[in-house]
A and B are shown apart, each in its own frame.
Chain A
Amino acid sequence: MMSFKRVKIKVPGKLQPTTENFEDSWSILQNVFDKVFKDDTQSISFEKTYRIVYEIVRYRQEAELYSKIKQYLIKKLETIRVETFDRKQHQLQDKWDFLETLEKVWKDTNLHLERIRDLTLYLERSYCQRNRVPGIVETGLEIFSDCVLSPLKDTVNKEYSEGVNDLRYTHVYDNPHTTTLEQLGSMMLTILSGEDSFFVVFVQPYLLEESTKYYSELVRTIDTEPMQGFERIESLIEFETKLDDKFLTSDSVTKIVKCIEKVLIWGNFDKIIAPLLSESLINFDNELLNKLYYLTVDRKYRLKLRHAIQDMIIKNLSAIELDESEKKKSLIGTKWTTAIIEMFNKYTKLLEGFRFEVESNTDDNNYISDDNLSGSQGLNENNNHNLNEDDSDTVSKGVLSAAGLLNETFSNFFKENAKFSSQYMCFYLDSHLKRTLEKTEINNARKDILGCVKLAKLLPDKDEFTVIYKNQLSKRLIQQRSSLEMEKFSCRKINEETGSFLTHKLDTMLRDMTTSADLSKNFNSAQNQKSTETIDTEENFNFVPEILTMTSWPFQNIDSITMDDLILPQQLETIKISFEKFYNKKYNERKLKWAHTLGSIEIGFQFEKTYHNLMMPFHSALIFLLFEKHEELTMENIMEMTNIPEPELNRQLLSLIMSSKSRILKKTPNSKTISKTDKFAINYNFTSATENVKVQTIIGNIPSSRSENSNQSNILERERINTTNAAIVRVMKRNKTLSHNELLEAVTDEVKPIFSLPTSVFKKSLGYLISKEYVQRNPDDPSIYHYIS
């Protein structure tokens, strides 16, 4: 059973019979709303208020009610503004008073509007929703914007920016003021002004301007010591980002940070960034460079940095001195190239992992005007730039890897130093390849060659490089100064880096060497068979034939080096004849020409004190061999017995008696000139520290090296003209008719991978083609050419 305990309860009397008189109901409601604004919710009855609204709507006076509420809110908010701000304005002392008051008003208004909305919920649900009229809160916010915020616009702007500056000044981003700013920020974002929010329309531009001003001031106080200044900038940007993150939308944060970065970075570029940059490059300080480069994502900044880096590298490269103290050009070149390669490797390491901006056309304009930009003056202009920049930011641009940047830079550098860079690089390769006879050097050489070939690809005139390289290669091959394997390796690498059209002939040369080796092996074995049968084996020597394809080798005048009328010693003559037989048997159609001067002979000889292997040029050897049977010979005798032309013989003899390191003959009388009757004999006193002695021919009167150079440039020009001919024909065939300039441009482009086209070559080539009637000048306008098919 249940036990009932009776309690007394007050039953509400019948609800106020809501009057049909709208005015009465309204005055009740107004009273209620007043209480809401006084935060006196305790004495408001939700039920009763709701009922009054309900009855008003039932009596179809909802539209009046709605507009009454609107008017009420307008009056109320106007009053609030006047009482809180207009009247008190002079009393607001502290910086934050205004902002904090505004924040409070905003908070309160929101709360009050929501409460009024709750109380008039029936109106909201019926009238507003069914008639698509903005609800009470929405209307109220609009009124708030019109009656409070807009009239205070300028003050809000000023105070808000000052508030931000205050935070910057005190350097704290985590205090109640930040919350105030955040609240106000969200308020201004909520409230619309036309298309966009109040914040975006009014406050943001002003804030940007003020921020720029603030930091422009600050820039002046920044340390002039670069490193400290940089750290300051870094921390300022970091602080600003953190601060802004606290109370702004990410969009605004980006805008402001961009703005102040501009001031901080561009304002201090020469003072801070540039010195640090050069410091980092000089010291190869990867960390510092990283910090500098990634200080901001600003594109223009990075572009500028990129240019600075490139300039700096070129400057450093140019600073590499040609060591004139070295006598030999090849040594100077080798040293220089070594330094360049070292530099390249260092920069490669320094810039590893960087991604550089690529310039586009629009950048150029911005770039120029940026240089003029100083402080706040260019602000408006600046904003426009921002827009442009934003646009271009969205378009995906290429990025340049560090390797790409270096290639570009070095290529430019070589272009500036086109006079010698090809040559010096060849010297470098030459000297390193010559080291490869030593097995232990091979690995190092391989590395050096690789490093150099990588740079060779950046040379503007690769054909020049190839010509010089070829020349040196031929010498190395014939004199067997390097490891054939390494030569092949080097050739292959050059091929890979520069393209096969340049290295075709190099390949043939190398192939010649390989076939020669085979032939020699076959010949020797054939020879050995014979020797066991007939010839006594006492005459024990090695014959190494080298068969060269005439067209592939860089020898200009075949006749000058092939002299058939030399009188050879018996053994050599025998070998020569049997090899000719052997070769003709194998290659019936081929004609064998002997180029003795390219060869050399190695002779072992016991001098009085020491035994030496003498490496001798062919002619010298012929002379030396004569003394096998004669103690003493006059020059005339020698000439008769060898048939060496007089000037050459003169040169050879001079070398043999004069050379400091290999004086193996002596002359009587002992003078520096040679007359035909002077007598020569072996210098038995000769001795040397090493067992192997290289007998060198003195260059003598003939200025052969210069002629060699001019030879090279002749070859080069001939080849270039050929290439240009082909290019012109190709271009004209495509276009049929072109103006001079168009043609020049197209052809320059066409031959660019091989060399940069000098006008002289272009003119010669064009003249040649016109004379050959490939191309015709327009009779009316000589600057226009036609292709004749």
Chain B
Amino acid sequence: MGQNNNDGFKVKDNFDDLCYACRTGDVENADRLISMGVNINQVDKFDNSPLFLASLCGHIEVVKLLLERGAICDRDRHEGARCIYGALTDAIRDMLLSYDISKAFDTNQPFATHISSLLKEDELNTNDLLLDCKDDVKFSTHKFMLIARSPVFDTSNPNKLSTTFKDIPSHTLGILLEFIYLIPILHEIRSTDFPDLIKLANTFQLKTLSEFLNKARHMTDPVQKSTLMIAYQYKFTELARNQLKNFVKNDIIGRHIELADDSNILEIPDPAKSLPFPDIYLVVENHTGTKRMYPCHISMLSRADFFKELVKSDFQDGRKYRLRRSSPAKADDVTDILCLELPTCEFGVAESIINYLYYDRADIDPNHAFEVIRIGDYIMASRLKNIAAAVITQSPDVLVSDTIFDVLHLAWETGVERLEQFGAKYIAQHIQELSSSRELYDVILESSRRISSREELDTIELVADIRFYLLGKYDLEPDDISLLETDADDTEFLQSLGLLDYKDDMIALNKIVTDLGLSI
């Protein structure tokens, strides 16, 4: 399988990480890595695919994730057959069979799914461009999407866009738009559509599409054809991701507006006439008090529930948005465009979020990850939070021991379980160094106060988690603990098992709990 990412070396690394995540069942990390564009249908040096590894190791959640993101399980091919035979449990095997490529064709990235939904069911009515075509059918589309996906559109005069296609039959244009909006249509293209489509693809310089069409045109073997489709569907998605990446880089982040401290009114390009044709401005203030404004699109931001609810609701903001749509922008009256301010954060954080929302970019700068989680919490984007959490847990080098408590607090505040577990594990690993830390006392105390919200009333969750990870730290099983009593004399034996160290750690932990006056 070829890689069409320029940064081959880094992606290779990511692929190994993905394989590791598949072996350990780390769903969040796998999701993050897949979102970074790793081709999940390649194999490692032992010829194992991520899907095979996850199946073999019995991680059904990862298997599901991989399948949903387009991992191929084709029984007719060696790889797929191996996955099915290697599946650890019946549940996994059944899932693999249910995704059997000969039955279903589903290869979607979350952002691709979202983009597809914009064409099919534009719930918030975010379109801003009506396309005319030959047979009097009109398509509602988004200017920014067309511009991002095809290099040939004339961006200087957006009004002309609507008539660009007026000589093209609606059927052909429909297919083309579906392609642009990443709807998997390859298997639906009829042979009679090919000539028109190829012409159209060439006109709009959709090279990958015409490449596919030319190849598929003369192919008859269905297996061969389906293999080609899978490969190209992946290519299309990655192509779209790259195009959106460039678009965000050049036309959103690149066109941000610096706001002077004191001025509330400022001159900005007419959003209806100039790139990126935004329908919302995202205002961000960083910690030094500098403000920036990013021209964005509700259609993409609404992947986060905050924006979706805001636009949907019947309050001032939602009305404002709808009002602007219903009365087509008079040049002077665009001051009513939505302007939202995020909680204070670094610009990089805001940009990470925009990147994520537009094309699922998951390689968040670890230094921004904390704030990304916080802002992700604010805008209610839980997947983003998990991905950012995975970034934190994947890069322990950014953690010095005194930030671990911040991690825990953040975890509690934002409800990211992965970080809670991570914190407990870290504390378990470093219990001896931390045992006198005031902050450890504090977090345990805080955890005990959180009891009221838990189901089991008499455990302190953090302490229970730390105990659990202490076992793991010395590779022990719960049953091994009894050896401490039965073989109390054989210190050498206990030492070799690590039980003595374990005992020391437990004493340190228990001391804290007792010092705090908490019952165990």
Contact = CB atoms under 8 A, between A and B. Distances in A.
Interface of A: 1-15, 41-47, 49-51, 54, 58, 115, 118-119, 121-122, 125-126, 130-132
A130 B317 contact: no
Interface of B: 155-156, 259, 264-271, 273-275, 281, 283, 285, 291, 293, 305-306, 309-310, 313-319, 331-332, 334-335, 337, 339-341, 343, 377-378, 380, 413, 415, 453, 455
B315 A46 contact: yes
Interface of B is mostly: mixed
Contact of A58 (B259, B341, B413, B455): B413
A121 B265 contact: no
B503 to A, nearest CB: 35
Given A2-B274, A126-B415, A131-B453, A9 B317 contact: no
Q: Which residue among A4, A11, A41, A50 has the maximum number of chain B CB atoms within 10 Å of its CB?
A: A11
B316 A3 contact: no
A43 B316 contact: yes
Contacts of A13: 264
B281 A9 contact: yes
A51 B340 CA distance: 11
Given A11-B293, A14-B285, A46 B270 contact: no
Nearest to B319: A42
Contacts of B275: 2
A11 B265 CA distance: 6
13 contacts: A8-B266, A8-B335, A10-B265, A11-B259, A11-B293, A13-B264, A43-B316, A51-B343, A118-B309, A121-B306, A125-B305, A125-B380, A126-B415
A288 B431 CA distance: 91
Contacts of A3: 156, 273-274
Contacts of A11: 259, 264-266, 281, 283, 291, 293, 339
A42 B314 CA distance: 8
A1 B335 contact: no
B269 A7 contact: yes
B269 A4 contact: yes
A118 B341 contact: no
A11 B293 CA distance: 9
A578 to B, nearest CB: 96
A12 B266 contact: no
The 4 closest A-B pairs by CB, nearest first: A131-B453, A6-B267, A46-B315, A5-B270
Nearest to B157: A3
A361 to B, nearest CB: 50
Contact of B268 (A9, A14, A47, A119): A9
Contacts of B310: 46-47, 50
A7 B415 CA distance: 42
A115 B314 contact: yes
B149 to A, nearest CB: 19
A88 B191 CA distance: 73
Nearest to A39: B314
A15 B316 CA distance: 15
Q: Which residue among A7, A125, A131 has the maximum number of chain B CB atoms within 10 Å of its CB?
A: A7
Contacts of A1: 156
Contacts of B306: 50, 121
A1 B274 CA distance: 11
Contact of A41 (B264, B316, B337): B316
Nearest to B311: A46
A7 B315 contact: no
Contacts of B259: 11
Contacts of B305: 121, 125
Nearest to B413: A58
Contacts of B267: 6-8
Q: Which residue among A2, A5, A46 has the maximum number of chain B CB atoms within 10 Å of its CB?
A: A46
A4 B266 contact: no
Nearest to A15: B341
Contacts of A51: 343
Nearest to B332: A7
B415 A130 contact: yes
Given A41-B316, A45-B315, A46-B316, A9 B334 contact: yes
Contacts of A131: 453
Nearest to B450: A131
A117 to B, nearest CB: 10
B309 A12 contact: no
B158 to A, nearest CB: 10
Nearest to A43: B316
Contacts of A121: 305-306, 309, 380
B335 A41 contact: no
Contacts of A2: 155-156, 274-275
Contact of A130 (B269, B291, B334, B453): B453
A49 B310 CA distance: 11
Contacts of B335: 7-10
B264 A10 contact: yes
A203 to B, nearest CB: 32
A41 B310 CA distance: 13
Contacts of B156: 1-3
Nearest to B333: A7
Given A46-B309, A47-B317, A130-B453, A9 B331 contact: no
Contacts of B268: 6-9
B270 A44 contact: no
Contacts of B337: 9
A64 to B, nearest CB: 14
Given A9-B266, A126-B415, A4 B274 contact: yes
A126 B411 CA distance: 12
A44 B316 contact: yes
B161 to A, nearest CB: 14
Given A4-B274, A118-B309, A14 B341 contact: yes
A12 B319 contact: no
A5 B266 CA distance: 13
A12 B305 CA distance: 22
B339 A9 contact: yes
A366 to B, nearest CB: 49
Contacts of A42: 315-316, 319
Contacts of B281: 9, 11
B162 to A, nearest CB: 18
Contacts of B314: 41, 115
B315 to A, nearest CB: 4
Contact of B317 (A5, A46, A58, A125): A46
B264 A4 contact: no
